[in-house]
Amino acid sequence: MAVTDDCVERLRADIGGSSIGLFCGSLYPDKRLDFMIAAADYVHAELPDFRLIVIGDGPSAGEIRSAVRSRPWIKYLGALRGLEKAPYFRLADVIFNPGAVGLHVLDAFYAGLPMATTLDAKHGPEIAYLKDGHNGIISPDNVEIYSQRVIRVLKDRPEHARLRLAATEGARLYTLNNMVERFVDGIERCLQSPGHR
């Protein structure tokens, strides 16, 4: 089921804001939620029309609930499943994920969204899919630098469009079929190598 433009516009009117950051994932310490909230504060100070939507649950959910009490521009939706999340990915401009990056980078790519993360977080191997300045942002471990890079992307619409296009291309590249084909190809080449015989 596709998310209609009318649905997205109703959601935008409800949430407000013209620039939307989205976090969608489990809430636990390796996600660096304190960094995310500090960065969102910085972005909101520069772009008052910025909103941050947080989808997810976990042991660190209290950090988000606490932040929301003094920041009405942060919208915490709790855990959503499947198609419930889709409208928010359509609404968003950038994925906030300063902490551990895993397979959810593919969710960002399938939504055609650049993801912003940090260099020194405890990433899974999927961080290799994210290319700084090509389909996302990999910032030094510094709130101000991270925030300024996000702000630049939100303000520079041609740059934002370029990153979105590259993210969409990533979705076509990193499919399950392609990964299986590369795995099988690697095994076949290994078996055919002279050292294996």
pLDDT along the chain (197 residues), means of 10: 83 93 97 98 98 98 98 97 93 97 93 97 94 97 98 97 96 62 58 66
**pLDDT per position as a tens digit, 151-178:** 999 999 999 999 999 999 998 887 545 4
Place of tokens 């095994």: 187
Bridge pairing between strands 50-55 and 19-24: parallel
What predicted TM-score, i.e. pTM, was given to this entire model?
0.87
Residue 154 tokens, joined: 């939100």
Sequence-distant (≥ 6) Cβ neighbours of residue 46 within 8 angstroms: 147, 151
Residue whose C-alpha is closest to residue 20's, from 104, 84, 139, 116? 116
What total of structural domains would you count in the chain? 1
Note down the domain range covering 77: 5-196
Burial tier of 77 (Cβ tally within 10 Å: 0-12, 13-18, 19+): middle
Residue 106 tokens, joined: 């593919």
**pLDDT per position as a tens digit, 73-98:** 999 999 999 889 999 999 999 999 99
Instruction: Round to whole Å and give the CA distance between 71 and 151.
Output: 19
Residue whose C-alpha is closest to residue 40's, from 127, 154, 161, 163? 154
Bridge pairing between strands 94-96 and 115-118: parallel
pLDDT at 175: 54
CATH number of the domain enclosing 144: 3.40.50.2000
Residue whose C-alpha is closest to residue 32's, from 92, 120, 112, 164? 120
Q: At 101, phi and psi to the nearest 5?
A: -100, 130
Residue whose C-alpha is closest to residue 37's, from 85, 73, 77, 86? 73
Residue whose C-alpha is closest to residue 116's, from 16, 60, 35? 35
pLDDT at 154: 98
